[in-house]
């Protein structure tokens, strides 16, 4: 489950195209980034040392800004695969954030020497990695001994309502949907902990939280996903008439079955994790 083949070119295109609409649509992503920092560093000025930090999947800069408010940072490398996201982050942070450097690169293939950073941080990005285990090993490599990884990612229960609605609609039509219809397979809390340890990390702490987003209808939910660039990069449409019928049945089911106080809801399973690169050969 922790290995897949996402089309990174399409993924980068989706996020670049959504850069201008991302901030208005990504309230939940902003909340997750803030809560991740608050979970790990509950007080401003946490720590005495000035850190060199790598932010993977910086997006428009939510996590970058929150970390800079809480930590003493000497240098911050904001990395993203999508050029549009980097341009937006540079507009928001560049002139007012000395010490922040922006780099277009794939977080799965880090172009840095071993032991380059004190902290690697990422929020709602790891779910787009093709090989989480290999990526975490690469992150461990670029951390200094005693360096920390701080991450929030999406877990298996994310969008459970959407998946059920699609399965129900497909059953009504007598068709079977490819697993890629539902986006990348996501790990659970225990899998995240295990793969962190396998990648060489110690002092692993993992916490799972469930969050809900509310919309007027299922159609608005789908539009919101598109505005955030989070639409499935491996989506392979069927014929246009079939897709239209499937979408109509799916949204009808969603609107009727997943509604509270007049709003439809979407579930997110969010996994927060902290871990440390061992300081010595004995793993201490």
Model confidence pLDDT, tens digit, residues 170-208? 999 999 887 767 777 899 999 999 999 999 999 999 999
Please state the domain extents for the chain.
Answer: 8-157+185-210+269-276
pLDDT at 163: 93
Model confidence pLDDT, tens digit, residues 116-128? 999 999 999 999 9
**In the predicted structure, residue 5 carries a pLDDT above the cut 90:** no
**In the predicted structure, residue 282 carries a pLDDT above the cut 60:** no
Measuring CA to CA, how many Å separate 232 from each of 45, 211, 224, 227, 261?
38, 21, 13, 12, 29
Q: Collapsing DSSP states into helix, strand and coil, what is residue 26? A: coil
Q: Collapsing DSSP states into helix, strand and coil, what is residue 7? A: coil
Two tokens, residue 28: 């939940």
How confident is residue 45, by pLDDT bands cut at 50, 70 and 90?
Answer: low
Model confidence pLDDT, tens digit, residues 241-265? 999 999 999 999 999 999 999 999 9
| Proportion of the chain in helix, strand, coil states, percent, rounded to 5 | 45, 25, 30
Task: Residue 178: name the closest of 126, 130, 252, 234 by CA.
Answer: 234
Lowest-confidence range among 33-37, 80-84, 148-152, 277-281?
Answer: 277-281
pLDDT at 48: 61
What's the mean pLDDT in 136-159? 97
Phi, psi of 242, rounded to the nearest 5 degrees: -65, -45
How confident is residue 1, by pLDDT bands cut at 50, 70 and 90?
Answer: very low
Which fold would CATH assign to domain 8-157+185-210+269-276?
Rossmann fold (3.40.50)
């Amino acid at each position: 489950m922790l290995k897949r083949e996402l089309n990174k070119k399409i993924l980068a295109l989706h996020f670049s195209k959504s850069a201008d609409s991302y901030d208005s649509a990504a309230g939940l992503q902003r909340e997750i980034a803030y809560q991740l920092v608050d979970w790990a560093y509950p007080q401003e000025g946490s720590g005495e040392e000035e850190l060199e930090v790598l932010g993977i999947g910086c997006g428009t800069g939510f996590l970058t800004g929150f970390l800079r408010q809480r930590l003493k940072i000497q240098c911050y490398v904001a990395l993203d695969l999508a050029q549009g996201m980097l341009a937006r982050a540079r507009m928001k942070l560049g002139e007012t954030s000395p010490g922040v450097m922006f780099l277009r690169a794939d977080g799965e293939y880090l172009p840095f020497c071993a032991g380059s950073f004190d902290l690697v941080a990422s929020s709602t990005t790891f779910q787009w990695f093709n090989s989480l285990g290999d990526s975490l090993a690469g992150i461990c490599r670029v951390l200094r001994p005693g360096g920390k990884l701080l991450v929030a990612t999406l877990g298996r229960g994310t969008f459970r309502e959407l998946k059920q609605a699609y399965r129900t609609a497909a059953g009504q039509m007598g068709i079977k949907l490819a697993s890629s219809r539902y986006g990348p397979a996501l790990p659970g809390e225990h899998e995240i902990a295990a793969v962190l340890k396998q990648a060489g990390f110690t002092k692993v702490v993992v916490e799972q939280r469930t969050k809900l987003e509310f919309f007027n209808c299922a159609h608005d939910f789908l539009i919101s996903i598109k505005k955030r660039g989070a639409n499935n990069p491996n989506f392979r449409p069927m014929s246009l008439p079939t897709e239209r019928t499937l979408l109509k049945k799916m949204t009808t089911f969603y609107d009727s079955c997943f509604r509270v106080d007049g709003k439809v809801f979407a579930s997110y399973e969010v996994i927060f994790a902290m871990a440390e690169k061992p300081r010595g050969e004995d793993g201490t």
